[in-house]
Amino acid sequence: MRKLFATAALAALMICTVGVSQAREARQQRDSVAGVFDYYLLSLSWSPTFCLTHPENEQCSGKGYGFVLHGLWPQYAKGGWPESCPPLTQLTAEERAKGLTMFPTGKLLEHEWSKHGTCSGLGAMGYLESSDQALGKVKIPEVLEPSTTVHYFEAREIEQLFRQANPGIPDKGVAVLCSGPELSEVRVCLDKNLGFGACGKGVRTQCRSGDIRVPPIR
């Protein structure tokens, strides 16, 4: 009887947790308004690390990518972000062609436009042009260009490399993320005019201490 009661209680707790999560997500989407945000976060993904766990993905088919555009994300200074802002529209053929000059795959492009781009308030072409400008704004440090040689750096060293290559980045304007022992992403914070700025609450470096591995290109 006790076992049955415990099982029923666990099931009820799981249902309650799922319900709260769904309600939170629904509220976030309901409250998201296109153009209402504080700054952008430019997310650059280190493709060789992504390809370690997604070898069949089309961006991993011997294209030799280093950093690729993950997305340009509207953010709130106090933490969090708007997402999937109405009206949700599909990309036109012209917009898709523009997006594929920056994003490594069409699937990623569609996802980023739907979840994040719609909240820019710029329309699809405006969002894609801003993404292009943001990419041009951030210079990749020479030692982090695509390479067939594995490298090792501490996360703070990668932060410093990006600041040295981009003197306008403030102390809290860049964050490094890892997937286990490997470099995963570098995130650079930009104001709404695409100038370098400080990151908001919750955007911080997330890597283990000591050296992290920067895998070589495939």
The DSSP secondary-structure symbol of 168 reads T
Confirm if 190 and 42 have CB atoms less than 8 A apart: yes
Confirm if 212 and 178 have CB atoms less than 8 A apart: yes
- Tens digits of per-residue pLDDT, 83-142? 999 999 999 999 999 999 999 999 999 999 999 999 999 999 999 999 999 999 999 999
Q: What is the pLDDT of residue 98?
A: 98
Classify 1 as helix, strand or coil: coil
**Band of the pLDDT at 19, cuts 50, 70, 90?**
low
Q: What is the pLDDT of residue 21?
A: 47
Checking phi first, is residue 141 left (phi over 0); if not, alpha (psi -120 to 50) or beta? beta
**Band of the pLDDT at 211, cuts 50, 70, 90?**
very high
Confirm if 28 and 83 have CB atoms less than 8 A apart: yes
| pLDDT exceeds cutoff 80 at 22 | no
Catalytic entry in 70, 95, 159, 185: 70
Average pLDDT, stretch 187-209? Answer: 97
Identity of the residue numbered 170 = P
Q: How far apart are CA 152 and CA 40, in angstroms?
A: 29
Q: What is the pLDDT of residue 8?
A: 45
Percentage of the chain beyond pLDDT 70 is 86
| pLDDT exceeds cutoff 80 at 11 | no
Identity of the residue numbered 210 = G
Classify 159 as helix, strand or coil: helix
Q: What is the pLDDT of residue 117?
A: 98
116 is catalytic: yes
Q: How far apart are CA 141 and CA 178, in angstroms?
A: 18
Q: Are strands 67-75 and 151-154 parallel, antiparallel or unpaired?
A: unpaired
Identity of the residue numbered 14 = M
Classify 152 as helix, strand or coil: strand
Q: How far apart are CA 78 and CA 110, in angstroms?
A: 27
Which strand (E) or helix (H) includes residue 190?
A: strand 182-190
| pLDDT exceeds cutoff 80 at 26 | no
**Residue 63 C-alpha from the chain's centroid:** 21
Catalytic entry in 58, 94, 112, 151: 112
Checking phi first, is residue 177 left (phi over 0); if not, alpha (psi -120 to 50) or beta? beta
Closest CA to 70 of 34, 36, 113: 113
Q: What is the pLDDT of residue 30?
A: 53
- Mean pLDDT for all residues in the chain: 90
112 is catalytic: yes
